[in-house]
Structure 1
Amino acid sequence: MKIHASTGNFAGDKDAAAHIRDTYLRPTLARGKTALLDFSHVELATQSFVHALLAAIVRENPDSLEKIDFKHCNDAIKDIIQIVVEYAQDDFED
Protein backbone atom coordinates (compact mmCIF):
# COMPACT_ATOMS: atom_id res chain seq x y z
CA MET A 1 0.00 0.00 0.00
CA LYS A 2 1.51 3.30 -1.09
CA ILE A 3 0.74 5.70 1.75
CA HIS A 4 1.45 8.70 -0.49
CA ALA A 5 -1.52 7.78 -2.71
CA SER A 6 -3.85 8.37 0.26
CA THR A 7 -2.04 11.22 2.00
CA GLY A 8 0.32 13.06 -0.30
CA ASN A 9 3.63 14.26 1.14
CA PHE A 10 2.12 14.86 4.58
CA ALA A 11 0.49 11.91 6.35
CA GLY A 12 -1.55 13.68 8.98
CA ASP A 13 -5.17 12.70 8.35
CA LYS A 14 -6.34 10.22 10.99
CA ASP A 15 -9.35 9.30 8.86
CA ALA A 16 -7.05 8.35 5.97
CA ALA A 17 -4.99 6.23 8.39
CA ALA A 18 -8.12 4.49 9.70
CA HIS A 19 -9.23 3.83 6.12
CA ILE A 20 -5.87 2.24 5.26
CA ARG A 21 -6.00 0.22 8.49
CA ASP A 22 -9.54 -1.05 7.93
CA THR A 23 -9.52 -1.62 4.18
CA TYR A 24 -5.96 -2.84 3.65
CA LEU A 25 -3.99 -3.61 6.79
CA ARG A 26 -6.56 -5.62 8.78
CA PRO A 27 -7.80 -7.71 5.82
CA THR A 28 -4.26 -8.46 4.65
CA LEU A 29 -3.16 -9.59 8.12
CA ALA A 30 -6.37 -11.58 8.60
CA ARG A 31 -5.50 -13.57 5.47
CA GLY A 32 -2.10 -14.36 6.99
CA LYS A 33 -0.31 -12.26 4.38
CA THR A 34 2.46 -9.71 4.91
CA ALA A 35 1.23 -6.13 4.63
CA LEU A 36 3.49 -3.66 2.85
CA LEU A 37 3.31 -0.04 4.01
CA ASP A 38 5.32 2.00 1.51
CA PHE A 39 6.12 5.53 2.70
CA SER A 40 7.85 6.59 -0.54
CA HIS A 41 7.48 10.34 -1.14
CA VAL A 42 5.94 10.89 2.31
CA GLU A 43 8.03 13.57 3.97
CA LEU A 44 6.26 13.72 7.31
CA ALA A 45 3.77 11.62 9.23
CA THR A 46 2.15 12.77 12.44
CA GLN A 47 2.07 10.65 15.54
CA SER A 48 -1.73 10.72 15.41
CA PHE A 49 -1.67 9.32 11.85
CA VAL A 50 0.65 6.47 12.80
CA HIS A 51 -1.36 5.85 15.98
CA ALA A 52 -4.59 5.53 13.98
CA LEU A 53 -2.82 3.28 11.48
CA LEU A 54 -1.09 0.88 13.89
CA ALA A 55 -1.94 1.16 17.59
CA ALA A 56 -5.13 -0.91 17.63
CA ILE A 57 -3.55 -3.64 15.54
CA VAL A 58 -0.52 -3.83 17.82
CA ARG A 59 -2.73 -3.87 20.92
CA GLU A 60 -4.91 -6.63 19.50
CA ASN A 61 -1.96 -8.77 18.45
CA PRO A 62 1.61 -7.60 19.05
CA ASP A 63 2.88 -10.43 16.84
CA SER A 64 1.19 -8.78 13.86
CA LEU A 65 4.23 -6.49 13.59
CA GLU A 66 6.15 -9.43 12.18
CA LYS A 67 3.74 -9.36 9.22
CA ILE A 68 4.00 -5.61 8.50
CA ASP A 69 6.77 -4.54 6.17
CA PHE A 70 7.61 -0.82 6.40
CA LYS A 71 9.38 0.50 3.29
CA HIS A 72 11.02 3.82 2.40
CA CYS A 73 10.53 5.46 5.78
CA ASN A 74 12.69 8.47 6.46
CA ASP A 75 14.28 8.80 9.91
CA ALA A 76 11.47 10.97 11.31
CA ILE A 77 8.80 8.49 10.22
CA LYS A 78 10.83 5.57 11.60
CA ASP A 79 11.04 7.36 14.96
CA ILE A 80 7.29 7.98 15.08
CA ILE A 81 6.49 4.38 14.18
CA GLN A 82 8.83 3.17 16.92
CA ILE A 83 7.24 5.48 19.51
CA VAL A 84 3.70 4.39 18.63
CA VAL A 85 4.61 0.69 18.59
CA GLU A 86 6.36 0.96 21.95
CA TYR A 87 3.48 2.62 23.76
CA ALA A 88 0.92 0.36 22.09
CA GLN A 89 2.87 -2.65 23.32
CA ASP A 90 3.15 -1.11 26.79
CA ASP A 91 -0.64 -0.78 26.88
CA PHE A 92 -0.89 -4.45 25.92
CA GLU A 93 1.39 -5.52 28.77
CA ASP A 94 -0.52 -3.58 31.44
Structure 2
Amino acid sequence: MKVFDFSGDFAGDKDAAASVRDIYIRPALARGEQIVVDFGGVDLATQSFIHALVAGIVREDPASLDLISFKNCNDSVRSIIEIVVEYAQDEFK
Protein backbone atom coordinates (compact mmCIF):
# COMPACT_ATOMS: atom_id res chain seq x y z
CA MET A 1 0.00 0.00 0.00
CA LYS A 2 1.60 3.25 -1.16
CA VAL A 3 0.90 6.21 1.09
CA PHE A 4 1.92 8.63 -1.66
CA ASP A 5 -1.11 7.54 -3.71
CA PHE A 6 -3.39 8.90 -0.97
CA SER A 7 -1.39 11.82 0.36
CA GLY A 8 1.16 13.02 -2.14
CA ASP A 9 4.52 14.06 -0.71
CA PHE A 10 2.92 15.52 2.45
CA ALA A 11 0.97 13.00 4.53
CA GLY A 12 -1.08 15.33 6.67
CA ASP A 13 -4.74 14.49 6.09
CA LYS A 14 -5.86 12.36 9.03
CA ASP A 15 -9.15 11.55 7.28
CA ALA A 16 -7.21 10.08 4.35
CA ALA A 17 -5.12 8.08 6.84
CA ALA A 18 -8.27 6.75 8.51
CA SER A 19 -9.62 5.68 5.11
CA VAL A 20 -6.37 3.89 4.26
CA ARG A 21 -6.46 2.18 7.65
CA ASP A 22 -10.05 1.02 7.21
CA ILE A 23 -9.86 0.08 3.52
CA TYR A 24 -6.43 -1.57 3.40
CA ILE A 25 -4.78 -2.16 6.77
CA ARG A 26 -7.61 -3.51 8.95
CA PRO A 27 -8.94 -5.95 6.33
CA ALA A 28 -5.45 -7.32 5.62
CA LEU A 29 -4.80 -7.82 9.32
CA ALA A 30 -8.19 -9.47 9.79
CA ARG A 31 -7.18 -11.99 7.12
CA GLY A 32 -3.85 -12.52 8.88
CA GLU A 33 -1.95 -11.04 5.95
CA GLN A 34 1.28 -9.10 6.05
CA ILE A 35 0.84 -5.49 4.92
CA VAL A 36 3.59 -3.18 3.71
CA VAL A 37 2.98 0.53 4.23
CA ASP A 38 5.24 2.18 1.67
CA PHE A 39 6.19 5.81 2.32
CA GLY A 40 8.19 6.15 -0.91
CA GLY A 41 7.89 9.70 -2.23
CA VAL A 42 6.48 11.02 1.06
CA ASP A 43 8.73 13.78 2.37
CA LEU A 44 6.83 14.60 5.54
CA ALA A 45 4.06 13.04 7.62
CA THR A 46 2.27 14.62 10.54
CA GLN A 47 1.86 12.88 13.85
CA SER A 48 -1.92 13.09 13.44
CA PHE A 49 -1.69 11.26 10.09
CA ILE A 50 0.40 8.43 11.55
CA HIS A 51 -1.83 8.32 14.63
CA ALA A 52 -4.95 7.90 12.48
CA LEU A 53 -3.15 5.31 10.36
CA VAL A 54 -1.92 2.93 13.07
CA ALA A 55 -2.46 4.00 16.70
CA GLY A 56 -5.89 2.42 17.12
CA ILE A 57 -4.73 -0.82 15.56
CA VAL A 58 -1.71 -1.01 17.87
CA ARG A 59 -3.79 -0.12 20.93
CA GLU A 60 -6.32 -2.84 20.12
CA ASP A 61 -3.70 -5.50 19.40
CA PRO A 62 0.01 -4.70 19.77
CA ALA A 63 0.83 -8.05 18.13
CA SER A 64 -0.60 -6.64 14.87
CA LEU A 65 2.74 -4.88 14.45
CA ASP A 66 4.19 -8.25 13.55
CA LEU A 67 2.15 -8.08 10.33
CA ILE A 68 2.83 -4.42 9.47
CA SER A 69 6.02 -3.31 7.74
CA PHE A 70 6.94 0.29 7.05
CA LYS A 71 9.03 0.78 3.93
CA ASN A 72 10.89 3.70 2.30
CA CYS A 73 10.56 5.97 5.33
CA ASN A 74 12.89 8.94 5.58
CA ASP A 75 14.30 9.73 9.03
CA SER A 76 11.52 12.20 9.86
CA VAL A 77 8.70 9.83 8.94
CA ARG A 78 10.39 6.90 10.70
CA SER A 79 10.77 8.97 13.87
CA ILE A 80 7.08 9.90 13.90
CA ILE A 81 6.04 6.28 13.35
CA GLU A 82 8.24 5.19 16.25
CA ILE A 83 6.77 7.84 18.55
CA VAL A 84 3.17 6.97 17.69
CA VAL A 85 3.73 3.21 17.99
CA GLU A 86 5.46 3.67 21.34
CA TYR A 87 2.71 5.72 22.93
CA ALA A 88 -0.01 3.50 21.42
CA GLN A 89 1.66 0.49 23.05
CA ASP A 90 1.93 2.37 26.35
CA GLU A 91 -1.81 3.12 26.22
CA PHE A 92 -2.48 -0.61 25.74
CA LYS A 93 -0.75 -1.42 29.02
Q: TM-score range by the shorter chain?
A: over 0.9
Q: TM-score, normalised by structure 2?
A: 0.99
Tell me by how many angstroms 1:83 deviates.
0.2
TM-fit CA distance, 1:65: 0.4
Q: Deviations over 1:32-59 (max 9, x none)?
A: 0001100000000000000000000000
Q: Deviation of residue 76 (structure 1)?
A: 0.4
Are 1:37 and 2:43 matched, yes or no?
Answer: no
Equivalent-residue separation in structure 2 for 1:48 and 1:69 (angstroms): 19
Letter in 1 for 2:31: R
For 1:7 and 1:77, the matched residues in 2 are separated by 13
Offset of 1:11 from its aligned partner? 0.1
Counterparts of 1:44 and 1:88, CA distance in 2: 21
What are the Cα deviations for residues 41-90 of structure 1, in whole angstroms up to 9, with x where unaligned? 00000000000000000000000001001100000000000000000000
In the other structure, the counterpart of 2:62 is 62
Q: Give me the TM-score of the superposition, normalised by structure 1.
A: 0.98
Equivalent in the alignment of 2:72: 72
The alignment of Structure 1 onto Structure 2 pairs a total of residues equal to: 93
**What are the ranges of 5 or more consecutive residues in structure 2 without an aligned counterpart?**
none
Separation in 2, partners of 1:28, 1:36: 10
Instruction: Kindly indicate whether residue 18 of structure 2 is the aligned counterpart of residue 18 of structure 1.
Output: yes
- State the one-letter code of the partner of 2:77: I
- Over 4 Å off, 4+ runs: none
